[in-house]
A = this chain, B = another copy of it.
Amino acid sequence: MEKVETGRTRKKRNTRQKAVVYQVVLDSNDHPTAEKVYERARRELPNISLGTVYRVLKELSQEGKIKEIIVNKQSHFEGRTDFHHHFICRACGKIEDVETPLCRYTCKKVEQKGYVVEDIEYKFYGLCSKCAQKLGKE
């Protein structure tokens, strides 16, 4: 590998912070906020800063290694990166995965307008089974 120095020799460092934040997201299945990730990362790395958590989360999202979903104007993160959607309980706030097939008919309709669809996001709001039961019998 020559080092002819044509242009930049990009350096990307592998830091403990990045590894830990990534692992925390992979280990979480509850779509944690940045704050929650921070809290969990600190158990491993007590001096990590919130700013670093935010920066690393953004970076990982851009690299496509994690996914960001926004609920109530707050970012939440998850390690699942395949196509799926979410149900949000208005009572307990829980965010749960929903498996739905991509609705071809719906997409077609959008594309017919000349739009280029790059991402699709379905959100279902209501009561999760637990909360529905609880509220049902009160």
A interface vs B, CB < 8 Å? 70, 73-74, 87, 89-90, 98-101, 103, 106, 109-110, 113-129, 132-133
Contact = CB atoms under 8 A, between A and B. Distances in A.
A120 B125 contact: yes
Nearest to A120: B124
Nearest to A72: B70
A124 B100 contact: no
A127 B116 contact: yes
Given A87-B110, A123-B120, A115 B129 contact: yes
* Copies of this chain in its oligomeric complex: 2
19 contacts: A73-B74, A87-B113, A89-B115, A90-B118, A98-B109, A99-B109, A100-B110, A101-B106, A106-B122, A110-B124, A115-B126, A115-B127, A115-B128, A116-B132, A117-B126, A118-B126, A119-B126, A120-B123, A121-B123
A66 B77 CA distance: 31
Nearest to A119: B125
Nearest to A98: B110
Given A100-B109, A122-B122, 14 more contacts: A70-B70, A100-B103, A100-B110, A106-B122, A115-B124, A115-B126, A116-B126, A116-B127, A118-B125, A119-B126, A120-B123, A120-B125, A121-B125, A123-B123
